Chains A and B, each alone.
Chain A
């Protein structure tokens, strides 16, 4: 079984600054995906960024980037130039890489991020 832990229940950042959200996970699998999802007040989960475990290069999507440390089982999210629209709950998630087995996400407890003007 996999576990995902987010140790920061709440964080705040000033607009235009940079913030890093932490995530650690535990698994015995060698091939897997890691994700960061954003859940704004509208409740819809939106994929922010994903990382394949076999890739050493850290994923980047515009202002969002990750620091993936496979040996340490760490997967942090960095948000640069924070915007008011980034205010949301952020969830770290894990899934085993096996197309035939389907998709089953294990989520962390979430970090509530508030971007202040």
Chain B
């Protein structure tokens, strides 16, 4: 069974631009969550989607948004990029009602 797939692996953008990151969960997993990892703030929860609905949201500005499609694939979007948005963005999926998360290898976003 394929693992959680995140694309692209690396991304370079400039301030003010917007970016879309993609996450394909493990087959059968309907919950997808996103985390931001930075050296300064560590790992922080962004949001979680289940059956195309946002179920939980972390403490991030409205520039960070996401969505989930009917096939459980998820995208997150960051608009008006700031230098501080440079981070590793990790996606994780899980089975319904299961607490065990399976993570992808992340997308490394650099904002110049």
Contacts and interface: CB of A to CB of B under 8 A. Distances in A.
Interface of A: 33, 37, 42-47, 50, 91, 95, 97, 99, 101-110
B31 A102 contact: yes
Contact of A107 (B42, B94, B100): B42
A47 B50 CA distance: 21
B104 A44 contact: yes
Contact of A104 (B48, B104, B106): B48
B8 to A, nearest CB: 13
Nearest to A6: B42
Interface of B: 31, 33, 35, 42-45, 48, 50, 55-56, 58, 88, 90, 92, 94, 97, 99-106, 108
Question: Do most interface residues of chain B lie in helix, strand or loop, or is the interface mixed?
Answer: strand
A52 to B, nearest CB: 9
A46 B94 contact: no
A2 B106 CA distance: 25
Contacts, number: 60
Given A45-B90, A47-B100, A95-B99, A102 B56 contact: yes
A17 B83 CA distance: 42
23 contacts: A43-B106, A44-B103, A47-B100, A47-B102, A50-B99, A91-B43, A97-B99, A102-B33, A102-B55, A103-B33, A103-B92, A103-B99, A104-B48, A104-B58, A105-B35, A105-B43, A105-B45, A106-B45, A107-B42, A107-B43, A107-B44, A110-B42, A110-B43
B18 to A, nearest CB: 23
B48 A102 contact: yes
A43 B97 contact: no
Nearest to B33: A103
Contacts of B103: 37, 44-46
B2 to A, nearest CB: 13
A113 to B, nearest CB: 16
Of A33, A46, A97, A103, most buried by chain B (CB within 10 Å of CB) is: A103
B101 A44 contact: no
